[in-house]
Amino acid sequence: MAVTVTPTQLARELTESPAPPTLLDVRWQQGGPSGRSVYEAGHLPGAVYVDLDTELAGPVREGTGRHPLPDPGEFGAAMRRAGVRDGHPVVVYDGGQGWGAARAWWLLRWAGHGDVRVLDGGLAAWDGPLSREASEPTEGDFTPRPGGLPVLDADGAAALARTGVLLDARAAERYRGEVEPIDKVAGHIPGALSAPTTQNVREGRTSLRPAAELAARFAGLGIDADTEVGVYCGSGVSGAHEVLALAVAGIDAALYVGSWSQWSADPSRPVATGPEPG
């Protein structure tokens, strides 16, 4: 099943399909304007705003990382409020970076929804009409069934870095430990490979590279459809975008949701620095 949809395809579905997809606006940016404010300034007609920090993540507690998995019951309630239904297609989008939309895509797929796609290129690629009216959808009936996509904990990530391929989706300078703008410790999980998620998109654009280009990129990292792959980032957001890119390339991957924010907060966990996996 497709994991992305083009703006042209989505426009056609919204106007011609007897069962148009439910639209979720998941605009989010670390340190940027609030997603709610940009949603209110203009969104796809009928789209419902979903807050990444409060609806696509659970409460932050000691040892969880910055964006832990939400409680399935609470996540299900949030999705039902947004009009999400079992067996009905969902399209998620953000401003164009793709991280917020990928997090929503990943969570819904993890929770058992089988028909979720990301608007490729996000709102930046959309040239159709926008609305400033808040949407009031009919209550959905979606019930989470966790386990639809694989997850890793810290021990699993450490093991996979030695037995398979563990990708670090953060910027290369963070992987090398040269800078760390958010967490207290700089570096990477020993054995992980640097694979910045920003390299999954076309230069100067917001849309993902074609499947063949993505497959070639991951092949250069020693990955094919038979490789056991895991991904982490800072807190399980940009890493979800890398899992999405891998899916476009036909490769299944697990997400270490706690990611570096969880790993680096545990003083018992080893840390590697420099350009090599370690």
Active site residues: 233
Q: Where are the beta strands (DSSP E) in the chain?
A: 4-5, 22-25, 48-49, 90-93, 116-119, 151-152, 165-168, 193-194, 229-232, 254-256
DSSP category for residue 209: P
Q: What is the dihedral of CA 28, 260, 196, 186, to 10 degrees?
A: 110
Through-space distance between the first and last CA atoms of the chain, rounded to whole angstroms: 37
With 0-12 / 13-18 / 19 or more C-beta atoms within 10 angstroms meaning exposed / middle / buried, residue 63 is: exposed
DSSP category for residue 132: -
CA distance 178 to 205: 27
For the sheet containing 22-25, what is the strand order? 4-5, 116-119, 90-93, 22-25, 48-49
In this structure, are residues 175 and 239 in contact, taking their beta carbons and an 8 Å threshold?
Answer: no
Q: Describe the chain by its helix, strand, coil percentages, rounded to 5.
A: 35, 15, 55
